[in-house]
Structure formats: C-alpha cells, structure tokens
Amino acid sequence: MDTGYQTLVLNRIWQPVNVVGVERAFSLLSLDHAQVIYAEDESFRVFNSLAWF
C-alpha cells in the first residue's frame, strides 16, 4: 500500500540522510529507531512513539 507521502529521515545531528515512505517511517517509529519532530510556530518538540501516539 503506497500512500504517496514521504518522510525525511535525519541522523543524530539533524542532517538529512534519506527519504522513506510513511509505512517505513511508522515501522522505524514502532521499533523505537526513530522519533517524531513536531514543529509549532518557531519551536520544535521531539516525541518518542509512545508520547506521540
């Protein structure tokens, strides 16, 4: 199932390293290999999968 949406993957120092589909992004999140970055106004918040879901 391809949704057509893509997600930017950043490394530990916030440099872009890859672009993956949403399914892969959720897979990485569920394995705790990724975090969600939420941008609001001029600030960023970082969530793990449990806090974000």
Q: Which pLDDT score, from 0 to 100, does residue 53 have?
A: 80
Query: What does each C-alpha distance from 1 to 5, 14, 21, 24 come to in angstroms?
Result: 11, 29, 10, 11
What pLDDT shows up at residue 15?
97
Asked if residue 1 is part of any domain, the answer here is no
Is-contact 19 37, C-beta < 8 A?
Answer: no
Print the domain residue range for 22: 6-52
Residue 37 lies in a domain: yes
Residue 21, domain member (yes or no): yes
Query: What is the b/e burial string over 10-23, where b = at least 16 CB atoms within 10 angstroms of the residue's CB?
Result: eeeeeeeeeeeeee
Residue-level pLDDT at 29: 93
Low-confidence ranges of the chain (pLDDT < 50): none
The Cα–Cα gap between 20 and 9 comes to 7
Total domains in the chain come to 1
Question: Is residue 11 one of the residues assigned to a domain?
Answer: yes
